[in-house]
A and B are shown apart, each in its own frame.
Chain A
Amino acid sequence: MKGMVVSRVKIADWAVLKGRGVLTTIGLGSCVGVVLYDYRSRVGGLAHILLHDSRDFPNKSKPFNPAKYADTAIPLLVREIENIGGNKERLRAKIAGGSQLFKNQKVRESVGEKNLRLVRQVLEEHGIPIIGEDVGGNYGRTLHFYVDTGKTIVSTVGRGEKEI
């Protein structure tokens, strides 16, 4: 990690980076971490998405934070990646999170599932293929994305880590 930029992405937050560096987000529960990566220009971004669809929330905060919702965070990330030299056509996605931590939530579609559904839908609308994922289950995840290689590591409490 020596000499590398390590940028921490908080909840409802985003970051983009070019070249050598790591984008990290800790504690994805029902939230979904979305990595977008242009392998050729080695430009990438990460968003930590809290909620599914901004159109479902009429009383949003002002100023509006687009990184909080799947439908607005992904277009934002695409734009910002393009701004630092990435190409939308080459973007690939990796996603992690969308779990259901609390056991007795007996609902038809959990918050995590809703988030995942919207993330997949918005990525598809933008023509961005998902090439790696670690989603669902009942546990939280931490994600490290190495921007220069695209390598993405997901770690958990008590379940080890894996590359997606």
Chain B
Amino acid sequence: MGEDTVNSFKLDVLKELANIGTGNAVTSLAKLLDGEKITMEVPDAKLVPLQDIPESLGGAELPVAGVFIESTGDIQLTILFVIPLESALKIISVLLPAARGDFDALEQSALLEVGNILTSSYLTALSLMTDLLLLPSPPAIAIDMSGAIISTVMAEARVQDDELVLLQTTLNSRRKRIIGYILIIPDRGALGTIFARLGIR
């Protein structure tokens, strides 16, 4: 990680930021899904070898929907919301009761909106805590094998490090069994800026 070494204390701080961000996102998602009870696991913040990230979400060949957002402004963040297709179909059936489940343009735009709302609530929390300006790009969606989606996002983010800080949260809904993952990849400079804002050296 060059000069910005990330120790376990810093990873804990990131975990806490992710916790609050995800808490916000979960509330928004529950509202969207007719008050469905959503639980989240304690977010994980870890240093992961680039090569292992595509495997980290249930296998590189798992068919998923991925919503991808880049945030610019004071810091650069890459955000990916990943939903296995089975879960994506359940979300679609709540939002669009007459949907056929073939991932047509309307169904994709519903998923895109879910990703957008989740990410925006996450970023709002992060921005309030750090007093940093975060400007999310319009979201983009792809439906494919998770390995292809994750590696494409890393290429889009022009990832130069071979080890990345990955903030990962798993969302779960008991009744409908919906699973989703939020991945946040801060770029090298972003971490330094966040820690400086929080007065951590």
Residues of chain A at the chain B interface (Cβ within 8 Å): 10-13, 26-31, 50-51, 57, 59-61, 65, 68, 99, 101-105, 111-112, 115, 138-142, 157
Contacts and interface: CB of A to CB of B under 8 A. Distances in A.
A140 B54 CA distance: 13
Interface residues of B, number: 36
Interface of B: 2, 50-55, 60-61, 63, 66, 68, 138, 140-152, 154-156, 158-163, 188
A140 B140 CA distance: 16
A105 B142 CA distance: 11
Nearest to B142: A101
A103 to B, nearest CB: 6
A112 B141 CA distance: 16
A48 B136 CA distance: 30
Given A105-B156, A112-B155, A157-B144, 12 more contacts: A10-B54, A12-B162, A28-B151, A29-B144, A29-B148, A29-B149, A30-B151, A50-B155, A99-B148, A104-B140, A138-B142, A157-B143
Q: Is the interface of A mostly helix, strand, loop or mixed?
A: loop
23 contacts: A10-B51, A10-B55, A11-B151, A11-B154, A12-B51, A26-B147, A27-B60, A27-B147, A29-B144, A29-B148, A29-B151, A30-B151, A50-B151, A50-B154, A51-B158, A101-B142, A101-B152, A102-B140, A102-B141, A102-B152, A103-B140, A112-B155, A115-B155
A159 to B, nearest CB: 10
Contacts of B145: 26-27, 140, 142, 157
Given A27-B147, A104-B140, A61 B160 contact: yes
